[in-house]
Amino acid sequence: MNSVLKIIAQRLALGLLTLFIVSIVIFTAVNLLPGDFAEAILGQGATPEAVESIRRDLRLDQPPITRYLEWLGGAVRGDLGNSFAQANFASFVGDDSGTRTTVAQQIAPRFANTMFLAGVTAAIAVPLSVGLGVLAALYRETVFDRFTNIFTLSSISSPEFFLAYVLILFLAVLNPLLPSLSNIYEGMGFGERLQKTLLPALTLTLVVMAHMMRMTRAAIINLLASPYIEMARLKGMSPMRVIVRHALPNALAPIINVIALNLAYLITGVVVVEVVFVYPGIGQLFVDSVKIRDIPVVQACCLIFASAYILLNLTADILSIVSNPRLRHPK
């Protein structure tokens, strides 16, 4: 048990170190973008005095290391700064009556929408992928196995926007079963929200399903030649029961890893899908913020993407350790 806790502590320390390095990369990349942020905010007709005032107010005149440490310290405390675009710019030029919108206030509802989309997708993709993987392993080298592999490989080989437009064509234009635009707003009922989220969720399902299905199939087929599987067959157990009760539990480690990686993609890789369906999630917010050069929001979105990816990878490692007796009971 102590060995397992030590491994988990090492994974957590490595995750924090990775996140620290990623924060440096994010800050450096954003600040290496060409152009002046203050001029981009005020427009081409800005006077030099106004540009200097806003640079001073936004602390853009400070050295990069100072600004990075202030941003990192605020992020650790949960303070991601103020949004440039959503601010009342009168406050930037000395009018204290102006109000500013914090990045956290702007991101919170968008992040909740993205998590809802990821949750709906996971609820569809994970059971479907594991089920298809089990059936493909049970009926391997049959027509069903070949068709499933061809279908999933075709879906994963197609860009997200292409799959999205194909689904829009068949499910929203030719057969108007689902809305083509995901007009999600606060206070919407669960049923209506689910209906408007279903089309982007189906798009993401097609993207992530292949990895999980093929990993499940490969892991189970790899175990079917094991002696204990042969013994279970000799006892007269049905093939489905052998796979579900004996092969699947021992194949959980690689399956958990690939599921966690794909769940990380559902949070960090939804940018294209959210833009296509105009879904008000954090991916759409990220694209809009890049267009208008809302730097604090861009940095916060990148940091959230990185944190979610690292956290889910750590979760996959920990669950793999817990589900693997060789790690839980080392010799």
Q: How many whole angstroms separate alpha carbon 64 and alpha carbon 70? A: 10
Report whether pLDDT(312) > 80. yes
- Lookup: tokens for 317: 């490692």
Q: Is residue 55 part of a domain?
A: no
Q: How many whole angstroms separate alpha carbon 267 and alpha carbon 282? A: 9
Q: How many whole angstroms separate alpha carbon 26 and alpha carbon 28? A: 6
pTM of the model: 0.81
Q: How many whole angstroms separate alpha carbon 327 and alpha carbon 115? A: 32
Q: Is residue 48 part of a domain?
A: no
Phi, psi of 102 (to 5 degrees): -75, 155
CATH number for position 152: 1.10.3720.10
Q: Is residue 133 part of a domain?
A: yes
The number of domains in the chain is 1
- Per-residue pLDDT, 237: 82
Q: Is residue 81 part of a domain?
A: no
Provide the domain limits for residue 142: 112-293
Q: Is residue 313 part of a domain?
A: no
Q: Is residue 107 part of a domain?
A: no
- Per-residue pLDDT, 6: 78
Q: Is residue 7 part of a domain?
A: no
Q: Is residue 42 part of a domain?
A: no
CA torsion, ordered 183, 185, 188, 192, to nearest 10 deg: 10
Tens-digit pLDDT profile for residues 205-261:
988 888 888 888 888 888 877 888 888 888 888 888 888 787 777 777 778 878 888
Contact between residue 181 and residue 277 where contact means Cβ atoms under 8 Å apart: yes
Sign of CA dihedral 206, 209, 213, 215: positive
Residue that wins the pLDDT comparison between 55 and 97: 55
The residues, any chain, with a CB within 8 Å of residue 320's CB and separated by 6 or more, are: 253, 256, 257, 327
- Per-residue pLDDT, 236: 82
Tens-digit pLDDT profile for residues 51-62:
777 777 777 778
Please, what is the end-to-end C-alpha distance for the chain in angstroms? 12
